[in-house]
Amino acid sequence: MNKAELTQRIKSQAEILGFYGCGIAKAERLDEEAEKLELWLSKGLQGGMHYMENHFEKRVDPRQLVPGAKSVISLMYNYFPEDDSPSNKTPKLARYAYGRDYHKVVKKKLKNFMQWINDEIGEIDGRCFVDSAPVMEREWAKRGGLGWLGKNTLLLSKQKGSYFFLAEIISDLELEYDHPIRDHCGTCTKCIDACPTDAISENGYILDASKCISYLTIELKTAIPEEFKDQMEGWMFGCDICQEVCPWNRFSTPHKEEDFLPSEDLINMEAWENISEEVFHTLFKGSPVKRTKYTGLKRNIDFITE
């Protein structure tokens, strides 16, 4: 089987497994991106996410994660909901967190993908990743032609918007590589203008994570600074504002993943201010919301409702 045939089989199987897109890039050091990351870190724009400073070379060179790697296969997995009521009433929940933890859902599919490769193509040296290792996933998806990095710093697709998870298989497979596409943000500044905390730089493409509502409600482990008191716009976990206003998300279509559906209890939940720890654990069993713990979610709810 030549590289073209092998590449086509990989992409066809990705579609069969339910992935939204598949792009392939050459495994090499991200020299230009490394310089940008170093500058971003030096300015402290990562806030309290000190883990971003760790394993720098692994973060910018996939061959440090998988010795002998030749290809980075980037995959998209849709999470855009048909019913987005939990994001439309205060306290609000980011759309990616309605159902089961995406790490578990997508990782299972990746393992099935790896097993298929080993069974159908042959044994490979490779590893799969879902936001769980120092991998610059948006940069690899960009190099694989799946989209461009928008002014809100998210990967954007003309056909599919931005409501999708990214995952990677880094392996020693020799494949045909895709090519990056051009930026289609143009003169649009909707995400910059809409961000209530001014987390996106004036000209876009740079995010001050320490001001981002997603950071403040998930990553920040201390009290939310009072300066953000009237700027949270009702978000208790994560934030979708820059995606909601992005014109390219008019092309988003509802996902077909049952594990991502919100439960009836979540849809009908009303008395958030009085949520107990018991209700929290029941409501968010197996959910990414568990990451913030009960105390963190209660902190967020109190901050936006008091």
d(CA 222, CA 245): 29
d(CA 32, CA 21): 25
Catalytic residue check, 259: no
pLDDT tens, the chain, 306 aa long:
799 999 999 999 999 999 999 999 999 999 999 999 999 999 999 999 999 999 999 999 999 999 999 999 999 999 999 999 999 999 999 999 999 999 999 999 999 999 999 999 989 999 999 988 899 999 999 999 999 999 999 999 999 999 999 999 999 999 999 999 999 999 999 999 999 999 999 999 999 999 999 999 999 999 999 999 999 999 999 999 999 999 999 999 999 999 999 999 999 999 999 999 999 999 999 999 999 999 999 999 999 998
Per-residue pLDDT, 306: 85
Range list of H helices, the chain: 3-16, 31-42, 56-60, 102-120, 137-143, 190-194, 213-214, 241-244, 264-268, 277-283, 293-305
CA 179 to chain centre: 21
CA atoms 94, 100, 103, 108: torsion sign: negative
d(CA 13, CA 86): 33
Strands 126-129 and 92-93: unpaired
CA atoms 156, 198, 40, 55: torsion sign: negative
Contact between residue 63 and residue 144 where contact means Cβ atoms under 8 Å apart: no
d(CA 44, CA 247): 30
CA atoms 129, 83, 147, 190: torsion sign: negative
- What SS3 class is residue 167? strand
Residue with token string 């320490």: 210
d(CA 82, CA 122): 39
Per-residue pLDDT, 132: 80
Per-residue pLDDT, 1: 79
d(CA 27, CA 144): 11
Nearest to 81 by CA among 224, 244, 208, 213: 244
CB atoms closer than 10 angstroms to residue 55? 13
Q: Which residue is catalytic, options 31, 61, 101, 131?
A: 131
291's CB contacts (< 8 A; 6+ apart) are 218
* pTM for the model: 0.96
